[in-house]
Chains A and B, each alone.
Chain A
């Protein structure tokens, strides 16, 4: 187990490094960053002086190593071009809101996915199963932001039941959670359903039934646990998807989180903030994957041995 965790940790650090490199070099892809920072009427001498002062005249690889050194040792991702605040403190300010939304969505999605998925599997081709399949199909084709806008129109504007922007109370959480949840709910629902169907055909379930256990006991004690193991791994992998979805959801609902900060920073060309957000997002994704892998390795010894 120890060596498994070590290996995964090493891989995770390497992934973070590569992602930080991609996000850093992205800036140099097409333009000279100095031209982005200075007004268009700047003279060539001014540009050169500015480059020297900011260290932009050094080779790109040296600049990257310098960026990495600062980022790793002191969490210094540079200052925002717009607000002049350190990029990392801007992120720290917004992070709790995104985490709140992401956790609420994971809880909501898995509660629904497990209950509906199990019912669909037990009562295959029943009304519940067919309705669930129908909604899963719709959910896959629905653009997130479009669903968000529709929910705002129906529940916020016509019915006036729920608030449509901001994050002041629990009620504010409902519409964004449903919107973001619809992004991954179909996948998880199908996963639970097929997992249950698979498990129910196993020999040990037949044994459990044969020794006279009630159907409820067979389902809850024997089948359910094995059916949801894959859900843990997938939830870890979906964390990245969730953060991507949060970028959209937060923009639609004016949720003051990282995703909205990312979009506005990209639109304003505030690259230090963008780079810092990408690295923080990547670290979250890698950590979530690592956590999920370790959890499933702890639960299921077969995974460790591979």
Chain B
């Protein structure tokens, strides 16, 4: 991506054929997209925190008489079930709202775990170099060679499907990307004056890494972390979809999608709405991540 912006900037100096106006449109559009992403995420967090208040119905209460009701705007739809009901007569909208809790909890905790493992290893590899670096880099290469979906699936299968184990499995399989970034940035920072002077002042390695180097890594870590949250949410839904997710009846988007799959031909809303929830959540997070990157990338800020 960085490459793209750099070349964008280069070419801006070189060839004036791109009009200022179209560039401005692009900028405004990008800003808009970032705002849109922010709004989606605020809604998501709000829904997750205040689920009992926001949800119109109890997400667990079943009613066989009202099973497979269509959304309210279709013939036969009821106004109390805005997005219809599922095969057990539960309100789909309420289940989606409650499902955001699982998705957010898994997404955020898994990424925190990834950051903790990945950044720590990356700092060590970048700071010490030599044998430490080659060992950690080798480990990263191994993880990259491991098909991560298989690793996550087998970890969950062995540990047993529970919220905690899903978070562990996602965290353990996702850290290498943070190690790579943290390592490269640390190597770059190690030669800078403020780090050299900290070394000259005989600060402990721990203090040097945490107080002086780590804060400088934060912008790039934050950008990757947002994208990784989206990835973790999608992977969690995939685990539920394959039957290795949170146990029913706890609402989870992936599981709702999996349950709705059997009714796909006639009652499409069972699968379509949870699927859209996953899509919009991931889209919102990606948009925000893109906007953050644009804000933090000095090459683009100058342009």
Contacts and interface: CB of A to CB of B under 8 A. Distances in A.
Interface of A: 11, 14-16, 18-19, 22-23, 26-27, 29-31, 124-125, 137-138, 140-146, 149-150, 152-153, 157, 190, 193-195, 197-198, 200-201, 237, 240, 243-245, 247-248, 251, 262-263, 266-267, 269, 274, 277-278, 281-282, 285-286, 289
B238 A22 contact: no
B3 A198 contact: yes
| A-B pairs, 4 with minimum CB distance | A194-B4, A141-B283, A141-B282, A244-B149
B279 A15 contact: no
A197 B10 CA distance: 9
A137 B284 CA distance: 10
Contact of B268 (A27, A153, A195): A153
Contact of A278 (B6, B150, B244, B275): B150
A267 B99 CA distance: 24
B14 A243 contact: no
Counting chain B CB atoms within 10 Å of each CB, which of A14, A141, A269, A278 scores highest? A141
Nearest to B139: A18
Nearest to A22: B146
A27 B271 CA distance: 34
B179 interface: no
Interface stretch (B61-69, B108-116, B119-127, B155-163): B155-163
B8 A197 contact: yes
Contacts of B33: 137
B150 A247 contact: yes
Interface stretch (B75-83, B195-203, B216-224, B257-265): B257-265
Contacts of A197: 4, 7-8, 11
Contacts of A269: 157
A267 B244 contact: yes
Q: Do most interface residues of chain A lie in helix, strand or loop, or is the interface mixed?
A: helix
A125 B8 contact: no
Interface string B1-40: 1011011101100100010001100100000010000000
Interface in B268-290: 268, 271, 275, 278-280, 282-283, 286-287
B264 A157 contact: yes
Nearest to B33: A137
B153 interface: yes
